[in-house]
Structure 1
Amino acid sequence: MDWLGLHFFTELPADGQVLLNCSHNPVLVILAYLVACAGSFATLDMAERVRHVDLPAARKRWCWVGALCLAGGIWAMHFIGMLALQLPIETHYDLPTTLLSLLFAAVASWLAMNTLSQPKLPLWRYLLASVWIGLGICTMHYVGMAALRSQATAYYQPDLFGLSIAIAISASLVALLLSRYLSDGSGMLHQLLKYSASLLLGGGIVAMHFTGMWALKLVMPAAGTPSMPVDDNPLQLGLTIAVIALLIIGSSISAALADKKLQHKEQDLLRVNTLLSQLDQARVALQQVAHYDALTNLINRRGFNQLFAEKLIEKTVQGGMLAVMFLDIDHFKRINDSLGHDAGDELLKVLAHHIKGSTRSHEDVVARFGGDEFCILISLREREEARLMAHRIMNKMKEPIELAGRRMVMTTSIGISVFPDDGTTSEELLKHADLALYQSKESGRNSLHFFNANLKNTACLELQLEEELRNALRSEAGLTLYYQPIYDLNQHKVSKLEALVRWQHPLHGLLAPDRFISIAEANGLIAELDNWVLRKACQDLAALSRHGFAELSIAVNCSALNLAREALPGEIADALQSAGVAPQRLELEVTENALMGNIETTVNLLRQIRSLGVSLSLDDFGTGYSSLAYLKRLPLNTLKIDRSFIQDMHQSTQDKEIVQAIIVMAHTLHLNVVTEGVENVQQYEFLAKHGCDFIQGYLLGQAVPVQELSAAIAEIEQRLRTAAGLSPSTAAGDTGGSGSQDPVPDTPGRHAGASTVRPIH
């Protein structure tokens, strides 16, 4: 087989002369190996670069660069290897044929890079590609060998020729597989593996070349005379080609490295831009969270304060009025308690929509401050605009709402303050609107009030009284007890006293309970005040016993807030023990409304108190919401009929019948009956006639301090015995009064002790 003057399967001529004294320049052989390794490294590096480039155009560009590096490396190795061949005859190379070999190297290299640039391929695709690449490299080699011109004829041993093809195909397959394996690595180990793979592939390429050279047999014609070789310095030419090839390969690798760094910087910039975008989104989200209410999507307190400050600056500079409206949903807690917090949240969304829909969308600011509290900021030309908007909101709120299968109507209380009349700072205006809201609640809810200076004065006074009451409790100075007698209609004597707390204020004089009890309840002082009254009453009862009133008992009022405290029975027992008073001489008074707050807990607590031996009295009976079903469960001893049934009894037959019915019912339940508010003899006679057990009121006298009790009791017993037609007798016990003073009138309609449960509204 002859191709380009090469004989692959032709036997050597019998008359020819085989050149046996051929050798290779070791320097050029090593140089060829280094060029092959450099080309292999460039191929692996370019293949890795191609896979890590995102843009198709850049991927194609680096694919061509890699193909040129591989082609140049293989061809330069081949040419340097040919220059390393030292023959005893004159040789030279045909330029067109040499360039043709370079073209085959380029085609094989492009095929290799094109295969490496594809996504992961099945093994058979790599096998097929390695066959074509190996054949291309072999073609490049043998075309390059055909460029050799000399007197000798080139013959090739078939077995070594086939082995060179197998080596080329195997080296190509190994290169493809190694490149795929090394494509996704990084770090020092990855680089070491790449260097090792380059040395291995370079060795494979050199092995293919020199296997092909080993297969070469140069035969001189029998009659020919060998021409002497010309010293054209192949070492210098080989070094020149190697330097040029290495410069091209090195430049390509440097360009790839620079592009890789540039791409990393671009990726870093993209990551930075992504992070900045995410930060912007997070900032917007935080802004939303920081300034908007998640439930209703209204602005929250923080956002409202910011807008409020801006509006104040604007109105201060340009002039104009602002109104701040505080809204509180009436009895909203009952929704959460009865239907649950999820239903409460749904209701808040609806109410927020109602409020927002009642305002001017572009001019007014609507905020939710938390819970069921909303705030509106509106620009005004005159104060009446705020009133009209408040009425519009209140009317909108009264529209029926379907919630949890129920149809309900909600109302709201509103407080309004106006800039600049009611303040010039946001803190002042918000505080004053809150005071006006409090007034709306105090006046029965479902109403609106504007701020006025009296509210501020009242609030300041309340704060001052709170501080002074706290100090009075701490120092036990100023607080005292007054006692109102309770007359036993059966035994015709005073058998009980009701303890009523008073506060001798240094500026305001003697204050009745209705002036400071609500302050104590609102500020967490009621438990301490109740405990002080309880201990003081037990101490006074012990002192009365030592002065001859050993059969008297004392009734002490208990706050509704105290009925929720598990420590109450222990405090009662401790007060009795400290004073040395029998439990049977103490009576605890509670109101109907206090009992109905949490009936199960209250009943258990009252049973514990009752087990101490202390009597229990239901105060203000008939004004609350207790039913007979609840009444029979309570461990009571006494019912106290409220004064409201007694005041107009002489004019109202109905009131008389109610009082009679209560007395009969109480006796049926084995309870004693005390009637409050008895002020005249006609009431006294009616109650005595119909079986009432005890009476209490101005007919007996007003509440007096403990020092005046002896004289007061004696006078009451003498007067009522005379009125009943009985012989007067001296009241039991020595009158231990310490002089007389004007009695302190008890507040009509409120016979409350240290812890009344009726709010002062």
Structure 2
Amino acid sequence: MDWLGLHFITELPVNGQVILNCMHDPFLVLLAYLVACAGSFATLDMAERVAHAENLSSQRLWRWVGAGCLAGGIWAMHFIGMLAFQVPVDVHFQLPVTLLSLLIALLTSWLVMYTLSRPSLSFWQCLKASVWIGMGIATMHYVGMGAMQSQAKVYYQPVLFGLSILIAIGASLAALLLASHLRNGTGMFHQLFKYSASLVIGAGIISMHFTGMAAFNLLLPGGTVLPQPGEHNHLQLGVTVAVMTLLIIGSCISAALADKKLQKKDHDLQRVNSLLSQLDQARVSLQQVAHYDALTSLINRRGFNQIFAEKLIEKTHEGGMLAVLFLDIDHFKRINDSLGHDAGDELLKVLASHIKASVRSHEDVVARFGGDEFCILIDLHDRDEARQMAQRIMLKMKDPIELAGRRMVMTTSIGISLFPEDGKTCEELLKNADLALYQSKGSGRNGLNFFSANLKARATLELQLEEELRHALREDTGLMLYYQPIYDLKTGQASKLEALIRWQHPVHGFLAPDRFIALAESNGLITELDKWVLRKACQDLGELSRQGCDELKIAVNCSPLSLVREELAGEIEQALRSAAVAPRRLELEVTENALMGNITETLVLLQQIRALGVSLSIDDFGTGYSSLAYLKRLPLNTLKIDRSFIIDIPKSAQDMEIVQAIIVMAHTLHLDVVTEGVETFEQYQFLERHGCDFVQGYLLSRPVPLNDLRPVLDEINQRKHAYTVTPLSLVHGTTALM
């Protein structure tokens, strides 16, 4: 039976034919298996390289390298296997047919690598491909066997022939499944599994070969004399082919391993570059956070100081002027308090854009220092440029702004310092600009001021005074109370005293309150100062009791900042208890603006103080913004008319009418009236005539210390009639705070 040029027999002939006995060289068989395993391992390795290749050109390269390794391994295995076949006849091979078998092996191997280069393979895809690949391997095998020429005639056993094809298909299927499974693994276990898989695939390939050889039979016609085989060194040729094949496969595997390492290093380098890029982005982000304000996107204080330092170095070496403009939004706190912080933030964004629009975009540096403080750094040729810039900003600030359904206009105060005349360092110039800003705010806001030397001197003095005032409060040295009598027009006696603080400074001498009260309020010392005055006044009340003045009362001033503290009532009670003084002998004086600040909370606190038995007096009445609707609700005892309404009496008819109206109103509210600043006899007569209850002023006495108080009181109390009142001799030449 012939099929496709092959001769098949089912039974060997009994007569007329000579069946040749054939053997195989075991060493060459083992060598063929080794070559098949090496080719299989190379195929698995190249499939892994194809899967990990990052571009199409690399995939094509390793696909062809893998195809070459597999084709070389299969074909060399087949060739060495044929060399291992030993027959007692002279055998030679046709070169063209042998090369054709090599070409078939190469095409089949390329089909294997092409199949394995797909991203994913299903079982059915593998099965379909394995049929074609197995058929290709079988074709390569039988074409290669067809290249063998001898006197004997070749016959194949059909069962073993078909079995060899099935083995080829099965080996192909196993190779595809193992290769698709192993191409994405890593680690030692993966490598060991790959070695094991190579042995299995190699066994499958060589099994197909020797199954095909088992189906192979050589027959000589009957009567033919067996020729003597020629001398052929098949062993040497087989070893040479095996060594060359293994060297080529080993070189390909080494190249794949080197490429794998290079790719890993490239991945590591990319990862490092990616990390460096992320670090650079993080650095830029951190720099943005560190040097820019998140709300307005302006440079913050840190970024401003860095640019400022660079500008100073440049101007120091090249010459030129710089101006530092320190801005503060006037009454910005009212926006936060009334509309909320979100509205305040929106307002700051708008104001920042106004400032940005007022400066030269590329030359000037605008920064937000925090809160509502902004700072601008500009190059200039003369100080007028700085003035014009500040005026431009102030004008731009007055543009109406729509915010939270309201239309508002904001103003700003500006302080300016110049380099090099006002300082040579960042810290000095910023501090001096801040001092100039402080001057602008103190001058009524919505203005600008340049730094001057006297501002620095005054700031230095205030700082020194602040430190020394803290020391005086802490050590209880230097501070003292002076007392000015308050005369009762009905009884003709000095029934009250107003406590007025003084400071005997070790360097600057005797200081009146106007030198340090504002300083204490701005630096948070006023609360401690009020506590000291309260304790000292209560102690002096105890001393007056021991001198026989049991009914004398003392009025103590209370600052607006102290009036908002819930602890005030407890502190008053503690001071009275410590001095063993009756609460009715203490009177607390508060200004009307302090009372109107937070009327609900103030009312609760005043009621607590009144519940102690302490009297309450509203001081400097007429100079603030008190509401009569609230005034009648407050638990007050006394109303004090400010000296500004008395000073022009009797020359000013208008002031006289105002004072009369205040006295009538106070009496209507059942309040006693004290008029301070009485300095002339005419003023005294006017007040007595119109029903004023108490008078206080230089006409009676200047403020005096406790030790000098008793003679002054005796002198005042000895006057029996208003017409006999004459100014008391000035004591100590001191100045009163009225």
The 8 Å contact of residues 422 and 429 in structure 2, kept in 1 or not, is answered as yes
CA distance in 1, matches of 2:159, 2:369: 95
CA distance in 1, matches of 2:88, 2:596: 126
Decide which of 743, 746, 759 is 2:736's aligned counterpart: 746
Q: CA deviation at 1:89?
A: 3.6
Structure 1 residues 639 and 180, CA, compared in 2 at 3 Å: closer, same or farther? farther
- SS of 2:48's equivalent in the other structure is helix
Amino acid in the other structure paired with 2:734: V
The 8 Å contact of residues 413 and 441 in structure 2, kept in 1 or not, is answered as yes
1:165 maps to what in 2?
Answer: 165
Q: CA deviation at 1:668?
A: 4.2
2:59 maps to what in 1?
Answer: 59
1:533 maps to what in 2?
Answer: 533
The 8 Å contact of residues 621 and 642 in structure 2, kept in 1 or not, is answered as yes
Is residue 642 of structure 2 the alignment partner of residue 642 of structure 1? yes
1:677 maps to what in 2?
Answer: 677
1:220 maps to what in 2?
Answer: 220
1:69 maps to what in 2?
Answer: 69
Q: CA deviation at 1:493?
A: 2.2
CA distance in 2, matches of 1:130, 1:669: 114
Q: CA RMSD in A?
A: 2.5
Q: CA deviation at 1:217?
A: 2.9
The 8 Å contact of residues 4 and 146 in structure 1, kept in 2 or not, is answered as no
Matches within 5 A, 1:576-595: 576-595=576-595
- 1:424-482 Cα shifts (integer Å, max 9, x gaps): 33322222111111111111111111111111111111111112212222221211100
Q: CA deviation at 1:107?
A: 0.7
Q: TM-score, structure 2 length as denominator?
A: 0.94
Is residue 484 of structure 2 the alignment partner of residue 481 of structure 1? no
Amino acid in the other structure paired with 2:329: I
Is residue 298 of structure 2 the alignment partner of residue 317 of structure 1? no
CA distance in 2, matches of 1:678, 1:223: 166
CA distance in 2, matches of 1:214, 1:653: 145
CA distance in 2, matches of 1:396, 1:188: 74
Q: CA deviation at 1:99?
A: 1.4
2:423 maps to what in 1?
Answer: 423
Structure 1 residues 236 and 599, CA, compared in 2 at 3 Å: closer, same or farther? farther
Structure 1 residues 262 and 677, CA, compared in 2 at 3 Å: closer, same or farther? same
Amino acid in the other structure paired with 2:505: H
2:619 maps to what in 1?
Answer: 619
CA distance in 2, matches of 1:552, 1:219: 152
Structure 1 residues 537 and 155, CA, compared in 2 at 3 Å: closer, same or farther? same
Structure 1 residues 656 and 162, CA, compared in 2 at 3 Å: closer, same or farther? farther
The 8 Å contact of residues 701 and 730 in structure 2, kept in 1 or not, is answered as no
Q: CA deviation at 1:661?
A: 4.0
- SS of 2:721's equivalent in the other structure is helix
Structure 1 residues 3 and 490, CA, compared in 2 at 3 Å: closer, same or farther? farther
- 1:686-739 Cα shifts (integer Å, max 9, x gaps): 4444443333222332111111222222222333x411799x9xxxxxxxxxx9
The 8 Å contact of residues 703 and 743 in structure 1, kept in 2 or not, is answered as no
Structure 1 residues 672 and 18, CA, compared in 2 at 3 Å: closer, same or farther? farther
Amino acid in the other structure paired with 1:82: M
Structure 1 residues 227 and 545, CA, compared in 2 at 3 Å: closer, same or farther? same
CA distance in 2, matches of 1:18, 1:538: 146
The 8 Å contact of residues 18 and 222 in structure 2, kept in 1 or not, is answered as no
445-454 vs 592-601, which moves further:
592-601
CA distance in 1, matches of 2:562, 2:15: 133
CA distance in 1, matches of 2:57, 2:224: 58
Structure 1 residues 485 and 39, CA, compared in 2 at 3 Å: closer, same or farther? same
Q: CA deviation at 1:272?
A: 3.1
- 1:322-366 Cα shifts (integer Å, max 9, x gaps): 222211111111112222222222222222222222222333222
Q: CA deviation at 1:208?
A: 1.6
Structure 1 residues 741 and 26, CA, compared in 2 at 3 Å: closer, same or farther? same
The 8 Å contact of residues 538 and 579 in structure 2, kept in 1 or not, is answered as yes
Matches within 5 A, 1:539-688: 539-688=539-688
120-129 vs 396-405, which moves further:
120-129
Structure 1 residues 533 and 137, CA, compared in 2 at 3 Å: closer, same or farther? same
Amino acid in the other structure paired with 1:525: L
Amino acid in the other structure paired with 1:264: K
1:274 maps to what in 2?
Answer: 274
1:349 maps to what in 2?
Answer: 349
CA distance in 2, matches of 1:605, 1:161: 115
2:362 maps to what in 1?
Answer: 362
497-506 vs 61-70, which moves further:
497-506
List alignment gaps of at least 5 residues for structure 2. none
1:512 maps to what in 2?
Answer: 512
- 1:635-657 Cα shifts (integer Å, max 9, x gaps): 43333232233333534454444
The 8 Å contact of residues 591 and 619 in structure 2, kept in 1 or not, is answered as yes
Matches within 5 A, 1:673-712: 673-712=673-712
2:438 maps to what in 1?
Answer: 438
Matches within 5 A, 1:97-108: 97-108=97-108
612-621 vs 688-697, which moves further:
688-697
CA distance in 2, matches of 1:430, 1:125: 79
CA distance in 1, matches of 2:701, 2:731: 14
CA distance in 2, matches of 1:21, 1:604: 127
Q: CA deviation at 1:255?
A: 0.5
Amino acid in the other structure paired with 1:386: A
Query: How many aligned residue pairs are there?
Result: 736
The 8 Å contact of residues 674 and 693 in structure 1, kept in 2 or not, is answered as yes
Q: CA deviation at 1:587?
A: 1.9
CA distance in 2, matches of 1:475, 1:161: 118
Structure 1 residues 169 and 632, CA, compared in 2 at 3 Å: closer, same or farther? farther
The 8 Å contact of residues 18 and 217 in structure 1, kept in 2 or not, is answered as no
Q: TM-score, structure 1 length as denominator?
A: 0.91
169-178 vs 562-571, which moves further:
562-571
CA distance in 1, matches of 2:318, 2:92: 100
The 8 Å contact of residues 5 and 154 in structure 1, kept in 2 or not, is answered as no
Amino acid in the other structure paired with 1:673: V
Q: CA deviation at 1:62?
A: 0.8
65-74 vs 702-711, which moves further:
702-711
- 1:194-249 Cα shifts (integer Å, max 9, x gaps): 11211221121122222222222333323323334444232222222111111111
2:145 maps to what in 1?
Answer: 145
- SS of 1:284's equivalent in the other structure is helix
Amino acid in the other structure paired with 1:723: A
CA distance in 2, matches of 1:128, 1:577: 107
- SS of 1:561's equivalent in the other structure is helix
Matches within 5 A, 1:325-336: 325-336=325-336
The 8 Å contact of residues 151 and 226 in structure 1, kept in 2 or not, is answered as no
695-704 vs 265-274, which moves further:
265-274
- 1:36-55 Cα shifts (integer Å, max 9, x gaps): 11111111110110111112
2:338 maps to what in 1?
Answer: 338
Matches within 5 A, 1:54-203: 54-203=54-203
List alignment gaps of at least 5 residues for structure 1. 729-738, 752-761
- SS of 1:241's equivalent in the other structure is helix
Amino acid in the other structure paired with 2:421: D
CA distance in 2, matches of 1:609, 1:101: 117
Amino acid in the other structure paired with 1:307: I
- 1:617-636 Cα shifts (integer Å, max 9, x gaps): 22223322332343344343
CA distance in 1, matches of 2:600, 2:82: 109
Structure 1 residues 624 and 211, CA, compared in 2 at 3 Å: closer, same or farther? farther
1:732 maps to what in 2?
Answer: none
484-493 vs 10-19, which moves further:
10-19
Identity of aligned residues (%): 72
CA distance in 2, matches of 1:172, 1:46: 16
- 1:377-410 Cα shifts (integer Å, max 9, x gaps): 2233222222222222211111111122111111
The 8 Å contact of residues 12 and 155 in structure 1, kept in 2 or not, is answered as no
CA distance in 1, matches of 2:2, 2:660: 142
CA distance in 2, matches of 1:9, 1:342: 100
CA distance in 2, matches of 1:488, 1:158: 145
Q: CA deviation at 1:374?
A: 1.6
Amino acid in the other structure paired with 1:745: T
